[in-house]
A and B are shown apart, each in its own frame.
Chain A
Amino acid sequence: MLGECNKCRVMWVFSCLIVAVCSLAFPKGAQAQCVGQPGNNAVLRMCSNGAFGPTGSTALIDASVFSGTDICAKIYNALQSAPTAGAIIDARGINPFNTPCASGTSPWYNGVSGYIDKPSYLLLPTGTITISYTWVLPDKTRVAGQGASTTGQTGTVLSALSPFMGATSGYPVAMVQFGDPSCMDGNSGVCFDISMEDVSLNGNSVSGLGGILNFNAQELTYAKHINFYQVAGTGLQIDSVSLPYQGQNSGPYIDISYSGGSTGTCASITGYEIRGIHGISCTATGNNGAAILLDAAATTLEDVNVSGFGYGIVLGSQKNTVTGKGDTRALGDTLLNISGTVTNDLIRICNPSVTSNPCPGGSTGLSPVWDVTVLAATSGSGTKNTIQDDMASSTLPNSTDAHVAMYMLGEYKNGGFSRFTSSKSYPTWLVGSGNIPTNTGCAANLTGSLYSSTASSGSALWVCVAGSWQVVK
């Protein structure tokens, strides 16, 4: 190597000079006396003897120097050494080398003693980290990888190994869990400020295995740039029918992708309001189920794209009113820019009294869905309906309503729903600059629609009655 170029030779001589100069600067009699704890950054400072030397900075703890046969063990031991108040744990220097984390362990649990419940900002390395036990992120834990990728080719990948074991009894088994029932930030009984970003979760099609589960973490909790790849369970699950409260006010959940096979759900949101899902792509192959189950109040779903599922977004298909805890049904939700190609309905609004797949109806105790706003929904060719609303008995088929600018379902009163839609399949409001000539027909599906003329003379308002436009005034 030294012979490769003169420049290298010069550098080598120069480096030797540096060594010599440094040796002079730190003579044997003036040894630097600085100290550092394992994992500390080495930074230069003036030590107690007046000489410069490397000393430990607690800016972060590098997990690579800690003992452990796998990355989980190394991080665990780094966390053990961290102050109670928390630390940045830098695991980027560890090459996981496909060495699986030991069964029953995670970075916060060694399989023997209790969980390490310390706040931390954990930096994960590029590469694949194979796990077979749920990572339960404690209160105030932030995990950042080196990027998500479409099929887990690059960046940081958590890869599931079968058999996969959950960490919390009674919870669905997921690869990552935001908190657990022991969460106790202050006296709140919940966790806060838990997040994961720039990571791919490869479920390896392990049966029923979910991606991220949030049953216990609220404000400042979010997920961003996450890919759920080959996740056979639910990619992102926020609360459940039986536990519909603890994930409230979490989010936003941003830039999420899910790619699965014939089973699984892209996302399920149940209970109280969250800070929205903004940007989610759900892709499956031959999955007859729903991509997104929305059974929560005051939730925004924005920039959603679905393909390969039977249904896109299904509202109100799960019983979610629990005695004494208020109304947590799908109520007051907003759906913006929803697109996709599915077999049946891109957007489905269930009715408790209507039993029709995927809406169980009947005696399942479902709550009615009200006050839903849909702006900009587009279904691709092959989709049966862009919107199927069982509450107001409305069907907006792809054949005539591939694009729907607005569909607002209000509330029930006097035998009908307040409802506004720009679709021509149902009563709507048309505006034009001309007066409608007498005996002009209108399509049957427009019956009840209004037409306003902006012309300065003639009539002003028409209504579609039994196949023809009738002047109202």
Chain B
Amino acid sequence: MEITTKYRKGWISLTAAVLALGSALSVNGQTVYPGDTAIFNSTGVTNSHSFIDASALSTTGTDICSKINAALLNLANSTRYPLYNDGGVIDARGVAVGTSRPCSSSPWSGTPPSTGWPSATILLPAGVIAITTGWALPSGTRLIGEGAGTSGASLTTIQAQSGFVSSNWMIQMGSTSFCPLPSICYGVSIQDLTLDGNSVAANGILNNDAASFSYVNRVNLYRLSGTGLQVSGNASYSGPYSEINFDTGSIAPGLSTLCASIQRPTKGVHGLRCVSTSSVPVAAVKLDAGNNSLEDINVEGFGDGVLVGSNSSAQGDVLVNVSKSGAGNVVHLAKITGNTVSDISIVAASNSGNATFTIEDDVTGTSISDASVAIYVLGESQPIGSSFTSHTRFTTSSSQPAWGVGPSSPMGSCMNNGAIFSCTGPTTCGVHYLYVCKNGSWVGL
């Protein structure tokens, strides 16, 4: 179809007017909202409300936060923009960003709409989004960047600038002001971007208030001296938290630098790499809750890789494929008075180089330095009379009482008292088919 000059002029005028007025217009029977996208219909160019292009909104501030804020207010304004449904997609990919355009406030700053902040999928542009205050995300907010990229070379980077209060979180998933108790926020997610503390902000993502459908996916936590990710408070069964990278980069980590702190049951942490330039921090991951799965965890630097139960009880957790290099333990089960650590299953723990112990279990007083351990299961404590306490425990570690199997009688000395060995050879086992390691020697039973 041809675009007539008349139509073209009409469209341009219409767009200009909407840009200027920031309100809906009816042109040729078509209702046009600010930031509408242009599409074709059967007669020519028209508009669609499929998303709000935030770059087209006129705002007092020129930074991306002001643009997003304006778009959010439009989404919630059912009087002026009734075709929105108190929610939608905000495309901020066309908004210019950079350190010269820092956000002076959060996109959710100011007085919320009377119906509360709308749910919104917000598409962020490539580049540096400079912030001086943290962002608290209300229910139904999905923050999507163009990609996390590698440390220091990201596509979408939210970067703290001078003036950011160091102890604040760069992003909070939900908040009690958005979701006053007993209600709990939900549907808050962050994906495909980097949070760069820039040696200014210490802490990355806090989820203390968002539960169902609240997750983090493909996020890089960069140059943070505090905690990268914390799940706590009302965030039970949030997640999954997947494909997350934490890298202290050029900053000097401190004792309390932490890749992740898991304080509530979740839908799992799956795919987490934690890199610290030194082993000064006590641990990369602190697991202080039950009913979690930590899977595909790789740690470089830090003290311990995964420290379980140092701040609170942890019962009923499973750790799968955990590896670490550098000083410190790959997995450390803490024994702290008042905290119960039990029923922990560890499958595939690996010392990728120079880790102190692959598994350090303070509960049973066990230290395993094997390069890799297929399975280590700590069950529960069992008093043995009034003498002492034992634990149910299964491990494949060759340095602990384990169950070996072979076609011939075990030869020579043995290291682990209490280990047993099943001999399977029909003619090579002699008179014994089960052996126990006793005082350094295999003894047939």
Chain A contacts to B: CB under 8 angstroms: 1-2, 7-8, 11-12, 14-16, 18-19, 22-23, 26, 28, 31-42, 53-54, 56, 62, 64-65, 90-93, 95-96, 123, 125-127, 146-150, 153-155, 198, 225, 227, 254-255, 257, 278-279, 281, 302-303, 305, 336-337, 339, 375-378, 403-406, 420, 422-424, 428-434, 436-437, 440-441, 446, 450-461, 469, 472-473
Contact = CB atoms under 8 A, between A and B. Distances in A.
B385 interface: yes
A14 B21 CA distance: 12
B354 interface: no
Interface centre among A153, A198, A279 (most CB of B within 10 A): A279
A302 B268 contact: yes
A116 B351 CA distance: 54
Interface centre among B60, B268, B417 (most CB of A within 10 A): B417
Contact of A26 (B5, B237, B389, B445): B5
A364 B199 CA distance: 66
7 nearest A-B pairs in the assembled complex, by CB-CB distance: A452-B418, A422-B379, A432-B390, A36-B40, A15-B16, A279-B267, A93-B50
Contact of A424 (B377, B379, B403): B379
Interface centre among A225, A278, A403, A456 (most CB of B within 10 A): A403
A376 B83 CA distance: 48
B345 interface: yes
B27 interface: no
A376 B21 contact: no
A19 B419 CA distance: 87
B365 interface: yes
B291 A53 contact: no
Contacts of A441: 385
A430 B121 CA distance: 53
A16 B16 contact: yes
Contact of B240 (A255, A429, A450, A457): A255
B392 A423 contact: yes
Interface centre among A35, A42, A153, A450 (most CB of B within 10 A): A42
Contacts of A375: 318, 345, 347, 377
Interface stretch (B85-93, B153-161, B168-176, B201-209): B85-93
B231 interface: no
A255 B186 CA distance: 13
B438 A147 contact: no
B392 A278 contact: no
Nearest to A428: B392
Interface in B122-174: 139-140, 142
Nearest to B417: A460
B384 interface: yes
B384 A469 contact: yes
Contacts of A34: 3
Contacts of B211: 150
B267 A255 contact: yes
Given A11-B19, A302-B268, A148 B40 contact: no
Contacts of A302: 268, 293
Contacts of A460: 417-418, 436-439, 443
Interface residues of B, number: 105
Interface centre among B1, B21, B118, B345 (most CB of A within 10 A): B345
B316 A424 contact: no
A339 to B, nearest CB: 4
B84 interface: yes
B58 interface: yes
Contact of B291 (A2, A22, A146, A378): A378
A35 B121 CA distance: 31
Contact of A95 (B3, B83, B121, B293): B83
B418 A461 contact: yes
A279 B213 contact: no
A337 B318 CA distance: 6
Contacts of B215: 225, 255
Nearest to A126: B87
Interface in B79-101: 83-89
A6 B76 CA distance: 26
Interface in B281-297: 290-293
B270 A278 contact: yes
B41 A405 contact: no
B111 interface: no
A126 B387 contact: no
Interface centre among B17, B140, B318 (most CB of A within 10 A): B318
A339 B3 contact: no
Interface string B1-41: 11111001101110011011111000000000000011111
Interface centre among B13, B343, B403 (most CB of A within 10 A): B343
Contacts of B265: 305, 339
B384 A440 contact: yes
Contact of B40 (A11, A42, A436): A42
Contacts of B83: 95
Nearest to B269: A303
Interface in B320-366: 320, 342-345, 347, 364-365
Contacts of A2: 21
Given A154-B119, A254-B240, A431-B390, A146 B88 contact: yes
A424 B385 contact: no
Given A15-B20, A227-B213, A405-B378, 13 more contacts: A7-B58, A15-B19, A39-B39, A41-B39, A95-B84, A278-B240, A278-B270, A305-B291, A405-B344, A424-B379, A432-B390, A461-B420, A461-B436
A452 B401 contact: yes
Given A405-B345, A430-B390, A454 B418 contact: yes
Given A62-B50, A227-B212, A451-B390, A155 B5 contact: no
Contacts of A455: 417
Contacts of B186: 149-150
Contacts of B318: 336-337, 375-376
A93 B48 contact: yes
Given A15-B19, A376-B345, A405 B139 contact: no
A18 B56 CA distance: 14
A432 B119 CA distance: 55
A436 B415 CA distance: 20
A212 B140 CA distance: 22
